[in-house]
Homo-oligomer: A and B are copies of this chain.
Amino acid sequence: MAKSKFEYVRAFESEDRCLQNCWIVVRIDGKGFSKFSDKHGFTKPNDDRGLRLMNRAAQEVMAQHRDIILAYGQSDEYSFVFNKGTNTYNRRASKLMTTVVSLFASTYVMQWPQYFPPDTMPLQYPPAFDARVVLYPTNTNLRDYLSWRQVDCHINNQYNTIFWKLVQEGGLSPRDAQEKLKGTLAADKNEMLFTDFGTNYNELPEMFKKGTVLVKEKETTQITCTIPPKPSSSGDNADGEPQEQQKIINKTISKIAHLHVDIIKNEFWKTRPHLLGDES
């Protein structure tokens, strides 16, 4: 079609291709989710439905982007790791972060009623998320990034668990609870939790303590097939009817697993060497 005299404005767009051979992380964060969770009656300090809805939205993103090798989520944030060699959208940062964040948001809203039944808690208003792209040149840098997020999950969860116990069961005001926790160490908090509220931190759900890791895992199932008999080429088969045969086939399908495991230590990575691959 004809080009207009206004078309020169395209030249004002800028390139934003990510450096080659770096891990590309897209991290999204809920915008104003403290208010959002209040308005929607989220359980404190962790709302199981809310977290699983986040996981559900992340799964959709991962299913549609085959170059995402792993996603990690906790609280109102999710990180998606694109393979360092990906050419998705020509590695353009804008395209990567906006398609990820918009698909996440639209899935979050679409799946809301599956996690918050409409008769109990309809969605009050549309949520927003921000997103950023961060590049990590080496496997160590990438693992340290993910470790940083999982440590963050752990520290926040530990703090929030005892904080809300003090408020909900201990009768303290939020300010007093905050004051009481100032300067306490991890061990102090666990002790307080156990002594004052009979709660063993280690027995809390793994999803709360470790967040959620999404990885694509191959699953092999055995399928029994019935193979119809070959029609005999000549009619002189004295032995009677040709017979059906049974055959067992191994079928491999790729599934997105939701794990609540430690990704800081080596074990997770050693058992999944394909995730990071060789460095070069």
A residues lining the B interface (CB < 8 Å): 1-2, 4, 6-17, 19-22, 28, 31, 60, 64, 89, 93-95, 97-99, 101-110, 123, 125-138, 140-141, 144-145, 147-148, 151-152, 155-156, 159, 279-280
Task: From known contacts A97-B98, A123-B110, A127-B106, infer whether A12 and B141 are also in contact, taking CB-CB under 8 Å.
Answer: yes
Report how many copies the assembly holds: 4
When chains A and B are docked, how far (Å) is the Cα of A280 from the Cα of B103? 34
Q: Are A148 and B9 also in contact (CB < 8 A) when A28-B98, A130-B98, A138-B138 are?
A: yes
Q: How far is the CB of A182 from chain B (nearest CB, A)?
A: 11
Docked CA distance A268–B51 (Å): 48
Q: Which 9 A-B pairs have the closest CB atoms?
A: A137-B137, A6-B148, A106-B126, A102-B105, A98-B131, A103-B128, A109-B109, A105-B106, A15-B15
Residues of B within 8 A of A12 (CB): 19-21, 134-136, 141, 145
**Which of B31, B60, B105, B144 interacts with A6 by CB under 8 Å?**
B144
Question: Knowing A129-B98, A279-B279 touch, does A13 contact B106 (C-beta < 8 A)?
Answer: no
A17 closest partner in B (C-beta): B14
Residue in B closest to A22 when the chains form the complex, CB atoms: B137
B138, A280: Cβ atoms closer than 8 Å: yes
- Contact between B19 and A99, CB atoms less than 8 A apart: no
Inside 8 A of A148's CB, which chain B residues have their CB? 4, 6-7, 9-10
A16, A106, A109, A132 — which one has the most chain B CB atoms within 10 A of its CB?
A106
Residue of B nearest to A125 (CB): B110
